[in-house]
Amino acid sequence: MNISAVSMADAKSLNKQSLVDLYEQHSPGIYRYAYRLIGDKDLAEECVSETFSRFLQAVKSGRGPSENAQGYLYRVAHNWITDQYRRQPNIHDSLEMDGHPDPNSNPSTLMGKEQERDRVRNALRKLPYDQQRVIELRFLEELSHEEVAQVLGKTVEATRAMQYRALTSLRQLLVDTQ
């Protein structure tokens, strides 16, 4: 969900309520994205903090997004996470899926679902880094093609092609592990 252009104009004028609204709207998604990639709650919280700090610095200096705050924020978070991997290459790459088990579910059903999630996680880890990010951003964070392109710093056409290759490779990896 994107903040409107009018609200973005308010944020650029440093309207306190618009900045609070922007944070409340986008921080949970940025946190999930960071936690999924890093696997550490403290680092994910640091990523959210640093992302919004950098956003505020950009807005104060007249830079930053003109309309699409969400894509811009994910791009900042993506860059921060990439920097962390460069500094600490052993950061846990969790690729966790959201969701809690249904308490009414049969234990064997839950175990089967967990095994299937493990298969998908393992297959995702075998994809190239950018293909992993496309899958996460499109299907776990539910960003549009345009927003994914902005986050990854690529064209929409390039991210669509990357998504196609990622899904094709993922499908093949999952077939091979059955």
Which CATH fold topology does 1-94 show? Rna Polymerase Sigma Factor; Chain: A (1.10.1740)
Angle ∠(54,60,61) on CA atoms, nearest 5: 90
Which CATH fold topology does 105-178 show? Arc Repressor Mutant, subunit A (1.10.10)
The per-residue pLDDT for 89 is: 62
Residue ranges of domains in the chain: 1-94, 105-178
- DSSP structure class, residue 154: S
The per-residue pLDDT for 60 is: 87
The per-residue pLDDT for 67 is: 75
pLDDT in tens, the chain (178 residues): 444 444 667 777 787 888 888 899 999 999 999 998 888 899 999 999 999 999 999 988 888 787 778 888 999 999 998 888 777 765 554 444 444 555 566 666 666 667 787 788 888 889 998 899 899 889 888 889 998 998 888 999 999 999 999 999 999 998 887 7
- The 10 Å CB-count burial string (b at 16+, else e) for 131-151 is bbbbbbbbebbebbbebbbbb
The per-residue pLDDT for 102 is: 56
Tokens 């490779």 locate to: 169
